[in-house]
Structure 1
Amino acid sequence: MKIVVVVLIVIIIVLVIYIGLMQLQVHKINMQLEKRLRENTRQPVSIELINKDINRLTANINKYLKVEEHLRLKGIREDKMFRELIVNISHDLRTPLTAVKGYQQLMKKEQLSQEQRKRLEIVEKHTGDLEMLIQHFFEYSYLTNAEPQIDLERTNLNSLVGDSLVTFIPYLEEKDLSLRLIESQSIFVLADKQLVKRIITNLIQNCIQHSKGVIVVSLLVEESAVISFKNPVKDLPHTEEALLFERFYTGDKARTKSGGLGLAIVKLLAEQMGGSTQAIIEDHTLDIRVSLPLYK
Structure 2
Amino acid sequence: MGLYIVFFGILFVFICTKYYLLKKGIRHLSKQLTLLADGETEKMLELSLTDRDLERLAGQINRHYARQRSLTAGALRHEEQLRESIAGISHDLRTPLTVIMGHLQLLERTFLSEEQLRRTDTALRKARRMNELIEAFYELSVLNSEQLQPHKESVNLSNLLIDFLTENAFLLEAGGIHPDILLPEKSVFLRTDPGMLERILQNLLTNAVRYSPGDIRISLSENPEGSIMLRMENPVEAGARPDVERMFDRFYTGDAARTQGSTGLGLAVVKLLAEKLGGEVTATLTGNWLAVTLNLYADL
The TM tier, using the shorter chain, reads: 0.5 to 0.7
TM-align CA RMSD = 3.4
**Superimposed CA distance per residue, residues 66-91 of structure 1 (whole angstroms, 9 cap, x where no aligned partner):** xxxxxxxxxxxxxx9xx98xx8xx99
SS at the partner of 2:213? coil
SS at the partner of 2:294? strand
* Structure-2 residue corresponding to 1:290: 294
* Structure-2 residue corresponding to 1:210: 211
* Structure-1 residue corresponding to 2:24: none
* Counterparts of 2:128 and 2:269, CA distance in 1: 17
The offset of 1:133, in angstroms, is 3.3
**Superimposed CA distance per residue, residues 140-162 of structure 1 (whole angstroms, 9 cap, x where no aligned partner):** 22212251142112222111111
Q: How does 1:1-296 map to 2 (within 5 A)?
A: 114=114, 123-124=122-123, 126-143=125-142, 144-145=144-145, 147-184=147-184, 185-222=186-223, 224-234=227-237, 235-237=239-241, 240-252=243-255, 253-294=257-298
* Counterparts of 1:135 and 1:150, CA distance in 2: 21
Equivalent pair of 2:233/2:292 in contact (CA under 8 Å) = yes
**Superimposed CA distance per residue, residues 6-25 of structure 1 (whole angstroms, 9 cap, x where no aligned partner):** xxxxxxxxxxxxxxxxxxxx
SS at the partner of 1:241? coil
* Counterparts of 1:127 and 1:179, CA distance in 2: 26
SS at the partner of 2:260? helix
* Counterparts of 2:162 and 2:299, CA distance in 1: 19
**Superimposed CA distance per residue, residues 171-201 of structure 1 (whole angstroms, 9 cap, x where no aligned partner):** 3223211012112243222210111111111
Equivalent pair of 1:279/1:288 in contact (CA under 8 Å) = yes
SS at the partner of 1:229? strand
The offset of 1:260, in angstroms, is 1.3
The offset of 1:228, in angstroms, is 0.5
SS at the partner of 1:228? strand
Percent identity, please: 28
The offset of 1:127, in angstroms, is 3.3
Equivalent pair of 1:132/1:258 in contact (CA under 8 Å) = no
* Structure-1 residue corresponding to 2:56: none
* Counterparts of 1:186 and 1:294, CA distance in 2: 15
Structure 1: gaps spanning 5 or more residues? 1-40, 44-79
* Structure-2 residue corresponding to 1:71: none
Distance 1:263 1:237, change over 3 A: same
The offset of 1:113, in angstroms, is 7.5
Letter in 1 for 2:158: N
**Superimposed CA distance per residue, residues 27-69 of structure 1 (whole angstroms, 9 cap, x where no aligned partner):** xxxxxxxxxxxxxx959xxxxxxxxxxxxxxxxxxxxxxxxxx
- Higher alpha-carbon Rg: 2
Distance 1:123 1:147, change over 3 A: same
Distance 1:208 1:277, change over 3 A: same
Equivalent pair of 1:154/1:191 in contact (CA under 8 Å) = yes
Equivalent pair of 1:155/1:190 in contact (CA under 8 Å) = yes
Q: Which of the two has greater helix per residue?
A: 1
| TM norm structure 1 | 0.57
* Counterparts of 1:161 and 1:244, CA distance in 2: 23
The offset of 1:237, in angstroms, is 2.1
Equivalent pair of 2:149/2:276 in contact (CA under 8 Å) = no
**Superimposed CA distance per residue, residues 242-261 of structure 1 (whole angstroms, 9 cap, x where no aligned partner):** 21111211113134321211
The offset of 1:229, in angstroms, is 0.5
